[in-house]
Structure formats: structure tokens, C-alpha cells
Amino acid sequence: MLKIAKLGNPILRKMAAPIDHREIKSFELQRLIDDMFEAMYDEPGIGLAAPQVSRSIQLVVMGCKDEGGFPETVLINPSIVYYGPEQVENWEGCLSVDGLRGKVTRPSVVRVKGLDRRGKPLDFEASGLYAVCIQHELDHLIGKVFLDRMKDMSTLTQLHEFQQYWQKEPTSVI
């Protein structure tokens, strides 16, 4: 099982390098994608970026089978090309930040471009939890974590207290 890099590991603060198109179909990259899905579901989480498994490359995997979830998605060399005008606040957590949750405000809709695991171009719009997850994961590719996106640190909450006081609100552990 891949090991998750935790906050304080310098790799989480680096800019991830783009992946060469010729490497996308390689056994190594395809296996890394499968291993990342396995590690993500094992935690469990709904998204995982390659820097979180100590690979500084532009690759993220995502998926959430719950109600209100979204399909399994692999994004290679992704970029957000449009942000919707509306902002929404959601609780977020992170597999690299143990035991903390915090409220983050982000655009409610994004349009993202990138490549899938076969190297084919992707271009789609996402909203709801999917949009939150995409923005959180793409932040990992530029060395940012959700704590950097919190405008008000007063909502920062330890897990036990989160479950006690705030659990009823939607959370995304990404």
C-alpha cells in the first residue's frame, strides 16, 4: 500500500511536474494510478493527488460512490479554465492533515481540462462535491493544502469535536 505524505513533508509544498504524454500508457504510471485508487479507498478518502504519495507529478485520482457523489476520475496535467461566479462554503479534511477539519469557501462550479488515464483529452464542468474535490486536489499540485484556503481559521476543528458538534454538515475528506 502506498504511504500518505503528511503535512510538514516538503513534497506537499512543491510544484508538481507535468507528465510526458509518452509516459501515460507506461506500466509504471498505470500501476501508480491503480495503487493510488487503492490507497484512497483504503483510508477512506474521495481524492488523492500524486504529491500525497510522494510523487511530484501532475496526477490526481478521485471518486465517491455515496449519494451526491461523482464518478471515478483520473486527471493528468489538469487545469481549471473557468470558475463559476458563486461561492460555497464546505467542511474539508485531507488525508495528509490528520485529525483536522475546517471550512473552506470555493467557487461552486469549475470547468476543468486535462487528460484521462489513456491520454485522451478531458473537458468538463463540475459542481457540488465534485467541484470541491477537483479544486482541493489541484491545489495539491501547486503545493497548497486546504488550510491555506481557509479565510477564517476559527472553524478549524479537531476530529472528535467535529463529530461531536458539526458532523451533520457535509464534509469532504480529500
Catalytic site includes residue 137: yes
Residue from 33, 40, 60, 174 in contact with Zn ion (CB under 5 A): 174
Query: In this chain, which stretch among 22-30, 64-72, 89-97, 165-173 interacts with Zn ion, using CB under 5 A?
Result: 89-97
CA 3, CA 18: separation in Å to the nearest integer? 22
Do 137 and 60 touch, CB atoms closer than 8 A?
Answer: yes
Q: Cell triple for residue 100?
A: 483536522
SS3 (DSSP) at 120: coil
Nearer CB in complex with Zn ion: 76/174: 174
| CB-based closest residue to Zn ion | 94
Asked whether position 46 contacts Zn ion by CB under 5 A, the answer is: no
Nearer CB in complex with Zn ion: 19/49: 49
Query: In this chain, which stretch among 7-15, 58-66, 93-101, 105-113 interacts with Zn ion, using CB under 5 A?
Result: 93-101
Do 117 and 135 touch, CB atoms closer than 8 A?
Answer: no
Residue from 33, 75, 94, 115 in contact with Zn ion (CB under 5 A): 94
CA 25, CA 31: separation in Å to the nearest integer? 10
Residue 112 exposed, middle or buried by CB count within 10 Å (0-12, 13-18, 19+): buried
Do 139 and 97 touch, CB atoms closer than 8 A?
Answer: no
Rg of the chain in Å (alpha carbons): 15
Nearer CB in complex with Zn ion: 119/147: 147
Active-site position among 28, 125, 137, 161? 137
Asked whether position 4 contacts Zn ion by CB under 5 A, the answer is: no
CA 29, CA 159: separation in Å to the nearest integer? 34
CB of 121 vs Zn ion, minimal distance in Å: 25
Asked whether position 50 contacts Zn ion by CB under 5 A, the answer is: no
Binding residues vs Zn ion (CB under 5 A) = 94, 174
Active site residues: 137
